[in-house]
Amino acid sequence: MNVEELNKIARAMVAPGRGILAMDESHPTCNKRFEKLEIPTTEPMRRAYRDMLVTAPGLSDFISGAILFDETIRQKTLEEIPFAAHLGNLGIIPGIKVDAGAKPLAGYEAEKVTHGLDGLRERCEEYFDMGARFTKWRAVITIGEGLPSWACIEANAHALSRYARISQEAGLVPIVEPEVLMDGSHSIDRCYTVTELTQRIVFHHLKNQGVALEGMVLKPNMVISGTEASARANVNAVAEQTIRCLMNTVPAAVPGIAFLSGGQTDQEASAHLNAMNSSGRSLPWTLTFSYGRALQQTAMQVWKGDRANVLPAQQALLWRARCNGSAALGSYNEGMESQAA
Ligand code: 5MM
């Protein structure tokens, strides 16, 4: 494995003021979001939607990389350019989701383990040839009564580390995504405990598998109250607890951390990232975004599957990208949101 080359790609993925567009929704997730807006759940509509995203003028000012789904990396834009080549031409690094989804964990049916290691080496080689330069694998950890189990964290951490090593051997920077879900009424303190434990175990396994930390990007959840929590922690508390957790678990060799949004509102996702980057703390890694919903949800609502809405939808995407690009530099403020209106 060429660690120097992996490190170069990883650093470009987390370059100052830019972040990653997660547009790798699997068919079930994408179709569910389309159905809510009465958009036909067809292959041409998914192509048209993703074309709208990647042809937004100025996208590369704030977006360093885009995570594609298997269907998309095999498709062409409406101008008949392969999606990966189109992104590369813009200076946006193409990436690919390589996991096969989270499935019930045997013996622990309330929890999930991510599948996809079978045939992964061959798929990574194929994706590299198609132009991808990074990969993503997402594990989900649920907080609940007696959850998560040790078995769930261990199984997911092991799979993440095996995936990361295989990806690096194919010349692809792995995004390691252990997501502790926001679902539930848990407190921010409970989220801290579970997130810290999960990240500790993930890095233990990454070490065991010989993953080069310089050649990976971590995509974690923020430390945050559950969506149903009675008293929700404020922006500063989320920023402080998240930084404390990362300082306790993430080695300085990791070039960057790109957060998922996990169901936060657009504004929350920007405000939390901004608070971390304007805290005045000197941090060993770059903190940026790898948002799916917090970049796309407004744009999809504006687009609604109608070609006539492409421009305003692209403006909505660009606006979130700009806000998050500013948050990655610690220069976002709520006043920016009224400018958008
Ligand atoms: C874009 O959504 C990704 C794919 O999810 P499924 O495999 O469930 O369809 C997802 O992995 C995403 O990259 C991360 O969860 C971050 O997205 P959010 O919306 O949480 O920022």
Distance (angstroms) between ligand 1 centre and the Cα of 96 equals 12
Domain boundaries, the chain: 3-340
Q: Tell me, what's the pLDDT at 68?
A: 99
What's the pLDDT score for residue 256? Answer: 98
Q: How far apart are CA 206 and CA 60, in angstroms?
A: 31
Question: How far, in Å, from the CA of 89 to the mean position of ligand 1?
Answer: 25
100 confidence band (pLDDT: 50, 70, 90): very high
Which atom of ligand 1 lies at the shortest distance from residue 99's CA?
Answer: 7
The predicted model gives 284-289 an average pLDDT of 98
Mean pLDDT in residue range 92-114: 98
The pLDDT value given to residue 1: 87
Residue 320 predicted with pLDDT over 90: yes
Ligand 1 atom with minimal separation from the 26 CA: 9
Average pLDDT over residues 47-66: 98
Distance 146 CA to ligand 1 centre (A): 25
Q: What is the DSSP letter of 112?
A: E
Q: With H, G, I as helix, E, B as strand and everything else as coil, classify residue 113.
A: strand
What per-residue confidence (pLDDT) applies to 196?
98
Residue 334 is predicted with a pLDDT of 87
Tens-place pLDDT, residues 199-212: 999 999 999 999 99
217-262 tens-digit pLDDT: 999 999 999 999 999 999 999 999 999 999 999 999 999 999 999 9
182, 293, 296, best to mutate for ligand 1 pocket (most atoms within 8 Å of CB): 293
Atom 4 of ligand 1 has which residue's CA nearest to it?
25
Q: How far is CA 166 from CA 73, 83, 121, 201, 337, in A?
A: 20, 24, 6, 19, 42
- Residue 338 token pair: 């009224």
Mutate to test the pocket of ligand 1, among 25, 46, 63, 141 (most ligand atoms within 8 A of CB): 25
Distance 333 CA to ligand 1 centre (A): 26
> Which pairs with CB-CB distance under 8 Å and at least 24 residues apart come from 112-119?
112/140, 112/142, 112/152, 113/139, 113/152, 113/155, 113/156, 113/159, 114/138, 114/139, 114/140, 114/156, 114/159, 114/160, 116/159, 116/163, 117/159, 117/162, 117/163, 117/166
Beta carbon of 138 within 6 Å of any ligand 1 atom: yes
> From the CB of 25, is ligand 1 less than 6 Å away?
yes
- 8 A C-beta contact, residue 223 and residue 257: no
Alpha helices in the chain (DSSP H): 3-13, 27-36, 43-54, 70-73, 83-90, 120-129, 150-169, 188-208, 235-249, 266-277, 293-303, 310-329, 335-340
Flag whether the pTM goes above 0.95: yes
Identify whether the C-beta of residue 151 lies closer than 8 Å to the C-beta of residue 104: no
- Coil, helix or strand at residue 325: helix
Nearest to 287 by CA among 316, 257, 317: 257
Q: Give 36's pLDDT tier (boundaries 50, 70, 90).
A: very high
Q: What is the CATH number of domain 3-340?
A: 3.20.20.70
Exposure of 92 in the CB half-sphere (CA atoms within 13 A): 29
Eight-class DSSP state of 276: H
pLDDT digits (tens, 9 = 90+) for 108-164: 999 999 999 999 999 999 999 999 999 999 999 999 999 999 999 999 999 999 999
- Please report which confidence band the pLDDT of residue 70 belongs to, taking 50, 70 and 90 as the band edges: very high
Over residues 114-127, the pLDDT tens digits come to: 999 999 999 999 99
Question: Which DSSP category does 147 fall into?
Answer: B
Distance from the alpha carbon of residue 137 to the mean position of ligand 1, in angstroms: 10
What percentage of the chain carries pLDDT values higher than 70? 100
- Nearest-atom index, ligand 1, CA of 293: 19
What average pLDDT score do residues 88-94 get?
Answer: 98
Ligand 1, atom nearest to 29 Cα: 9
Q: Is the CB of 293 under 6 A from ligand 1?
A: yes
Active-site residues: which are they? 177, 219
C-alpha 34/C-alpha 201 separation (Å) is 36
Give the type of residue at 30.
Answer: C
Q: Please name the residue whose Cα sits nearest to atom 20 of ligand 1.
A: 262
Residues 6+ apart with CB under 8 A from 125: 170
Looking only at the bridges linking them, the beta strands covering 63-68 and 256-259 are unpaired
Phi, then psi, of 230 in degrees rounded to 5: -70, -40
- Per-residue model confidence (pLDDT) at position 341: 60
Burial (CB count within 10 angstroms: exposed 0-12, middle 13-18, buried 19+), residue 21? buried
Contact assessment for residue 93 and residue 85, using Cβ atoms and an 8 Å cutoff: no
Nearest CA to ligand 1 atom 17: 292
